[in-house]
Chain A
C-alpha cells in the first residue's frame, strides 16, 4: 500500500463550489505539506504543518485553507473555487530530515 495517499485523484468542479482534497500518510511523519504544480512553475507551497497544532501559510495560501485532523491526515480546502485554481495538487510528508515523500496527486479542474 502507498505510504501517502490522496483523494480524490481527479475532480472537476464549478466556479464558486467548495471542495476538499484529502491526504493520509502511514509513514508516521510529523511534517506535512500541500503544493500545487502548474506547467513551467514547478511546485509552489500552499500550506505546511509540523504537527497537529502547528499550521503555517506557504507562498500561495490565498483562497485556500487547511485542517490537520490527526498526525496522519491533512486536508486542503478551496472555499470558493475559481478557474485559476485548476492545477495538480500534491501532498507530501517529511520526518527528521529534509527529504519529502509525495502522494500521487489530485488533478483539479475548475470550470
Chain B
C-alpha cells in the first residue's frame, strides 16, 4: 500500500531564509508525487508534480522539489521565503485507481 509521511507538522523560518519541507513516501506502483499548498481559508492548489523525467521539479512561486528514488523522498525547497508563503503544504503520492494518498501536512510559519 502507498503512504506518505511529512515528519514536520510545523516549520518556523525567518523571512528571506531558505526552507525545506520534508516528504517521504512508500509506493508499490509507478511513482507520481505532488505538492499542494493551502493558503488560509482557501482550498488546495497544485504547487508542483513529478510524473517522470528530470528529478528536479520546479513549481509556482519559486518552489522546487527533488525526487530521490533511493531515499524515497520528495522534499520541497525554496531559497528565500516571503511572508506570503505562510500556508499549509501537503505532499501526496498516487495510489492505484486514480486516487491520491495524502500526508498530514506541514504548516510553514514565516517569522518577520
Contact = CB atoms under 8 A, between A and B. Distances in A.
Contacts of A102: 36, 43-45
B46 A104 contact: no
Interface string B47-80: 0010000000000000000000000000000000
A55 to B, nearest CB: 14
Interface in A74-111: 90, 92, 94, 98-105
Give chain A's interface secondary structure class: strand
Given A40-B9, A99-B49, A45 B99 contact: yes
Interface residues of A, number: 22
B9 A99 contact: no
Contacts of A44: 102
Given A40-B104, A100-B100, 14 more contacts: A31-B98, A40-B105, A42-B102, A42-B105, A43-B102, A45-B99, A48-B99, A90-B43, A98-B34, A98-B100, A99-B49, A101-B46, A104-B43, A105-B42
